[in-house]
Amino acid sequence: MSRIGKQEILIPGGVKVTQSGNSLTVVGPKGTLTRVFRDDIAITVADKMITLNIKRNDKFSKSLWGTYASHIKNMIKGVETPYQKKLILEGVGFKSEVKGNVFNFALGFSHPVIVKIPEGITATAEKNNITISGIDKELVGSFTAAIRALKKPEPYKGKGMRYEDEVIRRKQGKKTV
């Protein structure tokens, strides 16, 4: 049984949750999120509480139970306070800047790397610090991971893009005899 799925989810003041069919819409001060859920889990919205119950007692439904509860909690938290991820760009000559809705990177390649910022994401680049924020946790995380994948940090000098709280394990390099 899912410990997370059993818990009732409290809807805070200023947040409105509506359900129509299999889709759940969360409206808050920072924006609106809508997500479509499978019908394996019964989602009940009442007063200021959301409860989830499994319809079938199979392994797949049980695995979705806690997952859907986490998705709903993340949606409610996101419309109250936006999610934020920070990247640090390290290396000589590595630069990043935001022009409109496009990231422009100089990552040591022979060409500039241009990445379009998706709808619903706000991004800033100041010197070597990149901040990505938005109300959808999944979108913020996947876009940040895609940006980081452009130039992963290497273990010898630590050059590349890393998360703010990430620690890069360094290697020793060549030994002289």
- Report the CATH number that the domain containing residue 135 is assigned in CATH: 3.90.930.12
Does 111 lie in the same domain as 60? no
Please check the confidence at residue 46 and state whether its pLDDT lies above 80: yes
Does 72 lie in the same domain as 7? yes
Q: What is the pLDDT of residue 4?
A: 86
Q: End of a domain among 61, 80, 99?
A: 80
Could you read off the pLDDT of 15-43 as tens digits, one per residue? 999 999 899 999 999 999 999 999 989 99
Tell whether 33 is covered by a domain. Answer: yes
Does 91 lie in the same domain as 68? no
Provide the residue range defining the domain that includes 124.
Answer: 83-163
Burial 51-83 (b: 16+ CB within 10 A, else e): ebebeeeeeebbebbbebbebbbbbbbbbeebb
Q: What is the pLDDT of residue 1?
A: 59
Q: End of a domain among 60, 80, 100?
A: 80
Does 69 lie in the same domain as 98? no
Tell whether 168 is covered by a domain. Answer: no
Could you read off the pLDDT of 48-100 as tens digits, one per residue? 999 999 998 899 988 899 999 999 999 999 999 999 999 999 989 899 999 99
